[in-house]
Amino acid sequence: MSEPVPPGGTPKSATPKSATPKSATPPSETQSRRASIGARRSPAAEAAILDAARSLLAEKGYAGFSIDEVARRAGAGKPTIYRWWPSKADLFIAVYSADKAAAIVVPDTGALATDLAAYTTELWRFWRETPSGVAFRALLAEAQASEQAMAALRDKFLPLRLADLACVFTRAADRGEIAPADADDLLQLYIGFHWVHLLTGRIGEDAASIERMARLIVRAGRPDTAAPPTR
Amino acid sequence: MSEPVPPGGTPKSATPKSATPKSATPPSETQSRRASIGARRSPAAEAAILDAARSLLAEKGYAGFSIDEVARRAGAGKPTIYRWWPSKADLFIAVYSADKAAAIVVPDTGALATDLAAYTTELWRFWRETPSGVAFRALLAEAQASEQAMAALRDKFLPLRLADLACVFTRAADRGEIAPADADDLLQLYIGFHWVHLLTGRIGEDAASIERMARLIVRAGRPDTAAPPTR
DNA sequence: TCGTTACGAAACGAACCGTTTCGTTTGTTG
DNA sequence: CAACAAACGAAACGGTTCGTTTCGTAACGA
């Protein structure tokens, strides 16, 4: 869905015929126009479009993310965009996927609490300072209006993105810090913490809050505390 | 969304399709027209607009929530809508606020874990079965594109809506189940749990998951376990 | 060489937003 | 009772965006 569409359409053999002698369209200044490079996809056009989309998203958020504006900035035609990305969402997802490479380093400090605090600090900074943060928020928003986007988010995007954090919890379980059975639930709780802050615009560097939350998570997972009134 | 793009152009079917003679729209049946009742606001119009907005939101989500369509369904003029709700967002919030009355009963079972589980079950049912769930998701989405909506969500909407849950945690602190200092953070964790499930479309009745999460929250707040290796 | 394909420019239709004009209806005020 | 004020619905307008189509041009490939 997010991949460019291979052009395999029906060859229409009808010659344009050009009954209308349009003439004109003077090629006066062929200066900066990025002409076709022939019967193949232009890497220059693709790169220009992706770059324009990324910077536009970073500057104006999803609200200002219009195909027309992307085309203007990229010096590309809208048909060129729609040829390779059938919808606005496709282009949007492509941008995020391309950025995902520059991901986040998963900390390994030897203790869950410090791992979590470090990860959160880094993630929030990433969300604040890169187009990806904006893009992710937009993706969450988009998913609320499109069942398709929702499914993609839930089934493809999240599991992939959460793999890093999952292994932080796995290591903690191996160290005996938390009960292995709780690892998944604790991960979910921590994700929720991130999302609430992201979606309400509170992803500043509130170190105290981050640390408190990390300690709560650790405490919730402590296996030895399960003794007394667990029924 | 659209189909894969046939890049070579399609056999254009030579369609002069439009040319719709607009005329029509015969007011022939003057029956149902809701005339002015004079120099005062018409309760009938207000109710019709709110009802139309609510049902439209429930049916099509925020994507299909257009002022034009609301006006059509309500048999109202757009100026009437804009006279009383200056923007689309205002009408939208009005719908949610009106529904908020039929809110959720805050459980008081005597134990935090069971309170939380009961509350979650009820809240998710509410989100699933009323337009409000759709509306809240849409509000979250809207906030990602509009700083204004974000501020309203963070500063006005949430504190109000969270008051119920807060008192569940307060009662638990009074009973000594959790450390009073942790109440706010635990509440945040629990909210995050709700949001993640709402935003990823997983608000079915997963009783087991709900209960596990409630127990984790309680354990995270246990005051007596607050001891050692915080380093 | 000649057909195929990609390119950008431009225009188009549809949808929606928010506004304005218009004629009508009905309370309120003098 | 008459004049005014205010609300009503219909309709249209300007602006924006999406996604499509047409058109002329340019390079690859057989």
Q: Are residues B78 and B107 in the same domain?
A: no
> In sequence order, what DSSP letters do the residues of B31-99 get, joined into one string?
TT-----SSS--HHHHHHHHHHHHHHHHHHTTTT--HHHHHHHHT--HHHHHHHSSSHHHHHHHHHHHH
- Give the pLDDT of residue B215: 93
Please name the nucleotide lying closest to B25, CA to C1'. Answer: D10
Nearest to B8 among A9, A158, A196 (CB): A9
With bands split at pLDDT 50, 70 and 90, how would you rate the model's confidence at B12? very low
Q: CA-to-CA distance for A52 and B175, rounded, in angstroms?
A: 57
User: Best residue in B148, B196, B215 to probe A by mutation, most A CBs within 10 Å?
Assistant: B196
- Tell me what the mean pLDDT of segment B17-21 comes to: 29
Q: pLDDT tens digits for B88-121?
A: 877 887 887 777 666 678 899 999 999 999 999 9
The region, left, alpha or beta by phi > 0 then psi within -120 to 50, assigned to residue A60 is alpha
Q: Which nucleotide is nearest to B76 (CA to C1')?
A: D9
DSSP-derived secondary structure letter, B223 = G
Which B residues 64-103 have CB within 7 Å of strand D? Answer: 74-80, 83-84
Protein-proximal positions, strand C, CB < 7 A: 3-11, 13-28
Query: Is residue A35 included in any domain, yes or no?
Result: no
Chain A 76-105 contacts with nucleic strand C (CB below 7 A): 76-80, 83-84
Per the model's pLDDT, the better-predicted residue between A127 and B25 turns out to be: A127
Residue pairs spanning A and B at CB distance below 8 A: 162
C-alpha A77/C-alpha A83 separation (Å) is 10
Q: CATH number for the domain including A196?
A: 1.10.357.10
Token pair of A226 as six digits:
């399960």
Number of residues that make up chain B? 231
Q: Is the dihedral of CA A61, A49, A159, A148 positive or negative?
A: positive
pLDDT of residue B37: 67
pLDDT of the residue at A35: 72
Residues B125 and B189 in one domain: yes
Do residues A196 and B188 make contact, with C-beta atoms less than 8 angstroms apart? Answer: yes
**Which pLDDT tens digit goes with each residue over A20-38?**
333 333 333 334 577 776 6
Min Cα distance A88 → chain B (Å) is: 8
Return the exposure string of A18-32: e unless at least 16 CB atoms fall within 10 Å of the residue's CB, then b: eeeeeeeeeeeeeee
Listed in sequence order, the residues at least 6 apart from B52 whose beta carbon sits closer than 8 Å to its beta carbon are B70, B71, B73, B74, B76
Give the model's pLDDT for residue A120: 93
Probe site for chain A from B144, B165, B231 (most A CB atoms < 10 A) = B144
B214 and B109, same structural domain? yes
Å between B10 CA and D8 C1'? 49
Write out pLDDT tens, residues B47-73. 999 999 988 888 887 767 899 999 999
Domain boundary among A100, A120, A135: A100
The last residue of one of the domains, among B71, B99, B127, is B99
Q: Which two tokens stand for residue A112?
A: 């869950």
Separation between Cα atoms, residue A71 and residue A73, nearest integer Å: 6
Least confident of A181-190, A220-229, B117-126: A220-229
Structural domain ending residue among the three candidates A77, A100, A123: A100
Range of the domain at A215: 112-223
Question: What does the mean pLDDT of chain B come to?
Answer: 76
- Asked if B59 and B113 sit in the same domain, the reply is no
Within this chain, do residues A124 and A83 fall inside the same structural domain, yes or no? no
Q: How many domains does chain B have?
A: 2
Round the CA-based radius of gyration of chain A to a whole number and report it: 24
The C-alpha atoms of residue B13 and residue A14 are separated, in whole angstroms, by 13
| Residue A182 at interface with chain B, using a CB cutoff of 8 Å | yes
- CB atoms inside a 10 Å sphere around CB B211: 16
Per-residue CA distances from A171 to A107, A177, A213, B64 (Å) = 11, 9, 19, 46
Residue B171 has pLDDT above 70, yes or no: yes
> Is residue A228 situated within a structural domain?
no
- Give A64 or A109, the one with higher predicted confidence: A109
Q: Is A82 on the interface with B (CB under 8 A)?
A: yes
Name the pLDDT band for B222 (thresholds 50, 70, 90): confident
Establish if B27 belongs to a structural domain: no
Share of residues in chain A with pLDDT > 90 (%): 30
